[in-house]
């Protein structure tokens, strides 16, 4: 669908004109549609997810501190490492524009 962006709070897809996210209620910042390259590097997120993903380093980098803490709490089970590898594949296969829109 055209005119869709990702929520700054929860990452769910919402309409670009929505002032708040209907899923989490997060206030949305007015932004030009994909005009900015984003402040987060996709390559950095890919490398962090691959090397330190089991500890949630990529989640902290992307500003998802709550998820990062959960990764740290459960890192001894190796489940976060498996999830981080899946996220590594997802980040690596995303385009730079899609990554910037979602995690920008």
Residues 6+ positions from 47 with CB-CB distance below 8 Å: none
What pLDDT sits at residue 35?
A: 47
pLDDT tens digit sequence for 82-102: 999 999 999 999 998 889 888
Cβ atoms of residues 94 and 100 within 8 Å: no
- Is residue 34 predicted with pLDDT exceeding 90? no
- Is residue 74 predicted with pLDDT exceeding 60? yes
CA–CA dist 94, 23 (Å, integer):
23
Please, which residues bridge with residue 15 across strands? 4
pTM of the model: 0.64
- Is residue 42 predicted with pLDDT exceeding 70? yes
């Amino acid at each position: 669908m055209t005119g869709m962006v990702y929520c700054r709070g929860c990452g769910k897809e919402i309409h670009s004109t929505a002032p708040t996210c209907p899923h989490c209620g997060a206030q949305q910042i007015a932004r030009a549609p994909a005009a900015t390259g984003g402040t987060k590097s996709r390559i950095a997120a890919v490398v962090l997810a691959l090397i330190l993903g089991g500890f949630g380093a990529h989640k902290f980098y992307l500003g998802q501190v709550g998820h990062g803490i959960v990764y740290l709490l459960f890192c001894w089970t190796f489940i976060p490492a498996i999830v981080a590898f899946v996220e590594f594949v997802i980040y690596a296969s995303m385009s730079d524009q899609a990554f910037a829109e979602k995690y920008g």
